[in-house]
Amino acid sequence: MDELVAQVNHDEPPPHSRKNAGWVEVIAGSMFSGKSEELIRRLRRAKIARQKVQVFKPELDSRFSDNHIVSHSEMRHESANSRSAEEVLARVDPDTEVVGIDEGQFFDNNLVRVANQLARRGVRVIIAGLDQDYTGKPWEPMPQLLAIAEYITKTHAICMKCGQPANYSQRTFESEERVAVGAADKYEARCRACFVPHADAPTVHDVG
C-alpha cells in the first residue's frame, strides 16, 4: 500500500575504531513510517556480519506476533517479550554484541538507563519507537533516548489525506487512553496540516 511506504535515511553508523565500543541508535517517527522495518534491516545486517544479536519488544504489543517484531510491510525478526526495561537488561547475554528493541515508547523510563548501561558494556543498542502519542505530545522515554543517542534516524510516512510527508499518528477511533495498541484499523499517518490532536474519522478516497 502506497500510504505505508516510508521515507527513511538508510545510512548506517560508521564502525567505531575502538574495540568493544558501544553506542545507542534511535529510530523514531510516526506509525507506518518504516521504523520496525529499518530496525529489522539493521539487525539482519548485524547477523550477516556474524554478530550475536538479541531482540526485545514490550509484552503488551502482540498485534502481529507473540515472538517476533513485525513491520507493517510484514518483515519480521524473532524477538523476546519483556515486561520492563530492567527485564531486558537482565536477559542480555554477556557475549551479545547487538541489542534491538522495538516499540520503545511502551517501555518505562528506565530504558534510558538500561540503554546507557548496555552501551558502556560495549553493546550496540538499536531502539525503534513512536516519538509522539496520538495527541502529538512527546512520548517518554523516546525524547530522552533521542537525547543520549549517538545516531538518530527520523522516519516519515505519507499523509493519508494529502500525500505529503507525515509525522503524526492520527487516531481514527474514540478513546482517550494514551496506550491503545492498533494498526491501520485504528490509526493513519497524517502531516502537520491534516493532523488533529484527537480522534478523527478515517480518510476515505474516491476510487474511479
Q: How far apart are CA 140 and CA 143, in angstroms?
A: 6
| Single-letter amino acid, residue 98 | V
Q: How far apart are CA 143 and CA 119, in angstroms?
A: 18
Question: Nine-digit cell at 159?
Answer: 499523509
Would you call the peptide bond into 138 cis, given omega within 30 degrees of 0 as the criterion?
Answer: no
Q: How far apart are CA 15 and CA 147, in angstroms?
A: 21
Query: Of the residues 12, 103, 176, 177, which is catalytic?
Result: 103
Residue 103 designated active-site: yes
Catalytic residues: 103
